[in-house]
Amino acid sequence: MRKLILFVLVPLFPACNGSSSPSGFEGTWNYDLPDRASGTNMAHLSCPAQGGAPAMELDIPQIGNLVLVRDGDQMLAGRTSQGCSWTFHDADGEHASFASAEATCNNPVIGSSYTITGWTLARDGAGAAEVVEAVSHRPGGPDCDFVLASGKRTWVDPDADDDPAAAFVGSWAYAPPDPLTRTNVATVACADAEGNPLPPSSEPQLGSIAIERTGPHTAAATDGDGCTWTFAVHGNTALLDPSAQRCGPLTLHHWALAGDGGHAFEVRSGERAGCRVLLSIGERARQ
């Protein structure tokens, strides 16, 4: 799942229309493009007041993938594109549920942890509905509640005769940054000389990237600083590949793009000059 976040700062293009449907849950399942109007793939994060900061309510687009493999009778092992592993009970190939009462992952993309308390998947052909309930843990403060009430995924057909990277080609500009919703506002977390964390700062995201196709399932994006980053593309989702890339002072460990060919969401995480830089609600439009 996309990103659960601890502080606010947490799966480009139509889902792959595979030539067949899965017989069960095994395979790669991408989140469909989030939709703010309908609430599809929009998780709600609710955090109580902390110190002098007021309570916070955020709607967070979910993007990325979940890869499921058979792990014994009626069991599935799952791993998200953000690096967390989970186990599901799959009784009939159409309904899967979280196999334990709760489980915790320290998410390497967002640099914080969360505990899943409920997760269900209901498959309908090559699509699946998803509901997630979780607790996001904030260091030194009260936990946040996380709910994805209307999740939707599409299975990526490994045998499909398609060229998903072609849909990424073009120039993509950030939408205007919005401090209230945290859209296109990155969080920068640094430490002092003794290694003690400093209060995080905000960094509006501006400019555009130019994406070119380098193969049917590969693409490269060049940013305004002249840095070029490479991606693997499957279905409607492009993921940074390899997962660690460096240009100048910036090292990226995760970058996911998802969209419909004209509108895209992104999640990006990396380090710059010893500081963690995290964009959890990125949004772009094709120029």
- Number of separate domains in the chain: 2
Shared domain for 143 and 171, answered yes or no, is no
Shared domain for 151 and 76, answered yes or no, is yes
| CB-CB contact of 100 with 107 (8 Å) | no
User: What does the CA dihedral 76, 81, 86, 87 come to, rounded to 10 degrees?
Assistant: 0
Shared domain for 125 and 175, answered yes or no, is no
Placement of tokens 């659960």 in the chain: 4
In Å, how far from its chain's centre is CA 11?
4
Shared domain for 256 and 181, answered yes or no, is yes
Specify the CATH number for the domain of residue 228. Answer: 2.40.128
Shared domain for 35 and 149, answered yes or no, is yes
* Domain of 102, in residue numbers: 27-155
Shared domain for 254 and 281, answered yes or no, is yes
Give the separation between CA 277 and CA 185, rounded to whole angstroms.
10
Q: Does 3 map to a domain?
A: no
Q: Does 10 map to a domain?
A: no
Q: What is the pLDDT along the chain (287 residues), one digit of tens a residue?
A: 444 333 333 333 444 444 578 989 999 999 999 999 999 999 999 999 887 778 999 999 999 999 999 999 999 999 999 999 999 999 899 999 999 999 999 999 988 899 999 999 999 999 999 999 999 998 777 899 999 999 999 999 999 989 999 999 999 999 999 999 999 999 999 999 888 889 899 999 999 999 999 999 999 999 999 999 999 999 999 999 999 999 999 999 999 999 899 999 999 999 999 999 999 999 999 99
Q: Does 78 map to a domain?
A: yes
Q: Does 9 map to a domain?
A: no
151 is written with which tokens? Answer: 């999740």
Shared domain for 219 and 263, answered yes or no, is yes
What are the CA-CA distances from residue 273 to residues 10, 114, 250, 277, 285 (Å)?
A: 22, 27, 7, 10, 29
Shared domain for 86 and 205, answered yes or no, is no
